[in-house]
Amino acid sequence: MCSTNGRWQNKRYEGALVINTHGNGCVGLFFGVPDAPCISAAPFDATGFTVTHVVRPFSSDGANTVQLSATDCYFMMLYLAPAQHADVLKDGCHTAVRLYPEGSICLVDLGTGAEIVLHSSLRALCFMMPKDLLAELGAPAPDLAIKLKCVRGTNDPVIASLSDAVLPLFHAAPTAKPMLRHLALAICAHVLHTYEDVSGPHSGGRLQ
C-alpha cells in the first residue's frame, strides 16, 4: 500500500476478475482509493453486483470525507477491522462518531446518495446491490419495489462468512466467475431475507 498525490492505493491485484475501478459500480474513487480492486457479477439480466476491497489509512491532512453519489442501488459495507466514522446529514451537520466493530455491516439506500467522515483507517468490503437485481430475486410482482431497512454497526456473521469466500476471488482466474455469481446470489438472498422492510417506505441517504 502506498500514497500517490495524496490518494491511497491498495496493493496490485493480478486476478483476472478485477475490473476497472472508475465506474461500473466500483466505489474506490469515492473513498480516495481509485485503484481499489473491484469484482463484478451479473447473476441475472440485471445490472451487475459489485464488490470493492477498500483499504484506506486515516488521513492526517483532514481529507477523510466520503461522498457516495446517488444511484439506484443499495450499498452495504462489511468492516474487516474496527472503524470509526460519523454521518454527514443533508444540512451539513455531523452525527456523533460511532465505532463499527469487525464483522459488522452498514446498509443504506443510495437513492439520494450518502456522506460520512472517517475518524479512523478503514478496511472493508463495499457491496453495490442494484435494486433491479434485488427485485428479480425477491419482488412478488414485477411492479412492486423492494425496500430494505437501513442498519448501522449490525453484527452479521452470515455476511462475514460469505465475505471470507469472496476475498480470495480478488486474485482469481476467470474460471472463478461462476463462484462469484453464486456468492452474489447468496449475499443478496440473505440481505433480502434479513433486512427487507415490509412496513413501508424507509429512510435513505445516510450511510448507516
What is the reported pLDDT for 59?
Answer: 85
> Which cell numbers in the block locate residue 46?
440485471
- Please compute the mean of the pLDDT values over residues 70-78 and round it to a whole number: 95
Q: Residue 7 contacts by C-beta under 8 Å, 6 or more apart in sequence?
A: 32, 33, 34
Angle between helices 131-138 and 177-195 (to 10 degrees): 80
Share of the chain above pLDDT 70, in %: 79
What is the reported pLDDT for 8?
Answer: 39
Residue located via cell numbers 471470507: 164
Mean per-residue pLDDT of the chain:
83
What is the reported pLDDT for 42?
Answer: 80
Q: Taking the CA atoms of 13, 17, 19 and 24 in sequence, report the sign of the dihedral they define.
A: negative
> Which cell numbers in the block locate residue 37?
480492486
Q: What is the pTM of this model?
A: 0.84
- Please compute the mean of the pLDDT values over residues 125-133 and round it to a whole number: 93
> Which cell numbers in the block locate residue 24?
461500473
d(CA 20, CA 120): 27
Which of 32-36, 59-63, 71-75 comes out lowest in average pLDDT? 59-63
What confidence tier does 48 reach under pLDDT thresholds 50, 70, 90?
Answer: confident
d(CA 196, CA 85): 25
What confidence tier does 171 reach under pLDDT thresholds 50, 70, 90?
Answer: confident
> Which cell numbers in the block locate residue 54?
477498500
